[in-house]
Amino acid sequence: MFGSALPDDRRFLKHVFQALRFGFESHGIDYEPVIKNIGKDIGTNLSDSFESNNLKDLLDEIAVFWSKNGLGEININNINPLEIVINDCFECCSVPSVDKKLCSFSAGLLEGIITGNSGIGGTIKETECQGNGHNHCMYKMINRY
């Protein structure tokens, strides 16, 4: 059966993201804004599924969602300014250091969920990544309003 030959969902998703990233790059296309916007659109659509009414509880819900869906393990370093650390990030955990941040989809997904659910505006920016030599990914909310 073909279905039984497929890798687990997480490995499959990693390969899809890597293929998209390398495909865009090979054609000279800056994929980061496109992938981030796709993540943000998905996050905005998912935001109604999160029930929390305050940022701290929402972040706890997001951490459970991330873990259950094999996206990585979330830790909150700080609420204000918001700093989110993801260990074992599905977008980059198997990629060697390539001197660039690779996780624009995750940044967009976080931004869409947080802004769509909480009404807190701002931009989620990846500041550290395994792709640029760290052992985790870190996201910060900038321009928070």
Q: What is the DSSP string of 49-79?
A: G---SSHHHHHHHHHHHHHHTTS-EEEEEET
For the chain, what's the residue count? 145
Banded pLDDT at 6 (limits 50, 70, 90) = very low
Please, what is the average pLDDT of the chain?
89
In a domain, 1, yes or no: no
In a domain, 2, yes or no: no
Q: Is the peptide bond before 7 cis (omega within 30 degrees of 0)?
A: no
Quote the pTM value. Answer: 0.88
The domain containing residue 96 runs over which residues? 7-142
Residue 111 sits in a domain whose CATH number is 3.30.1380.20
The percentage of residues in the chain with a pLDDT greater than 90, rounded to a whole number, is 62
